[in-house]
């Protein structure tokens, strides 16, 4: 059975109440439950992790080495500036898909750049929670499976 790690970065714990006009009313618990269920139908086990702390996220990425077949990662605002998280992703040799609920390419200028996307196998944006399921499919196509 394949194992994927779902990571959500800073402020994503507040989904549902945070800027619903941008992110909708879906909660992090909804995303974790639905992504886990979607993956389970495809014979994939998903572990979930969220943190508001850069160091905790780096540690979790390091721990993914040799354990997970893929990572689904919404880095939140770290997307736009964290070279430390970019280096963590590029250090671990686990295929990673970057996901954003909103379409960062049509928002403020600072959101249009992702320093993490170049070390990911794909970036999915603007599809709301469906983007997480799509990331499962992208990873499965990459690592073999459905
Ligand atoms: C986000 C987009 C980021 O720019 C923002 O800082 C977030 C959420 C998204 O899912 O659309 O926290 O990653």
CATH at residue 28: 3.40.50.9100
62 is catalytic: no
- Check pLDDT > 70 for residue 142: yes
Q: What 3-state DSSP class applies to 104? A: helix
Number of independent structural domains in the chain: 1
What angle do helix axes 54-63 and 83-92 make, rounded to 10 degrees? 10
Query: Which residues lie with the beta carbon below 6 Å from any ligand 1 atom?
Result: 11, 74, 76-77, 79, 100-102, 104, 111
Average pLDDT, the chain: 97
Q: Which residues pair with 4 in a beta bridge?
A: 46, 70
CA 50 vs CA 7, 136, 142, 143: distances in Å = 6, 18, 24, 24
Contact residues for 57 (Cβ-Cβ < 8 A; gap 6+): 7, 9, 51, 75, 78, 85, 88
Pocket residue to mutate for ligand 1, from 26, 77, 105, most atoms within 8 A of Cβ:
77
Contact residues for 142 (Cβ-Cβ < 8 A; gap 6+): 70, 95, 121
Q: What is the tens place of the pLDDT at every residue in 31-71?
A: 999 999 999 999 999 999 999 999 999 999 999 999 999 99
Query: Which domain does 67 fall in, by range?
Result: 2-143
Give the residue from 80, 58, 70 showing the smallest Cα distance to 122: 70
- Check pLDDT > 60 for residue 127: yes
């Amino acid at each position: 059975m394949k194992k994927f790690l779902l990571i959500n970065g800073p402020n994503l714990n507040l989904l549902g109440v945070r800027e619903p006009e941008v992110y909708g009313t879906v909660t992090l618990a909804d995303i974790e439950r639905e992504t886990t269920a979607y993956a389970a139908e495809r014979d994939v086990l998903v572990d979930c992790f969220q943190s508001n702390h850069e160091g905790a996220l780096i540690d979790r990425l390091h721990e993914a080495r040799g354990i997970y077949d893929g990572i689904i990662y919404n880095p939140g605002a770290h997307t736009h500036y964290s070279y430390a998280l970019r280096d963590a992703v590029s250090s671990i040799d686990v295929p990673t898909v970057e996901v954003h609920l909103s379409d960062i390419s049509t928002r403020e200028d600072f959101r249009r750049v992702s320093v993490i996307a170049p070390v990911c196998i794909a970036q999915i944006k603007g599809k709301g929670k469906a983007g997480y399921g799509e990331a499962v499919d992208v990873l499965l196509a990459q690592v073999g499976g459905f």
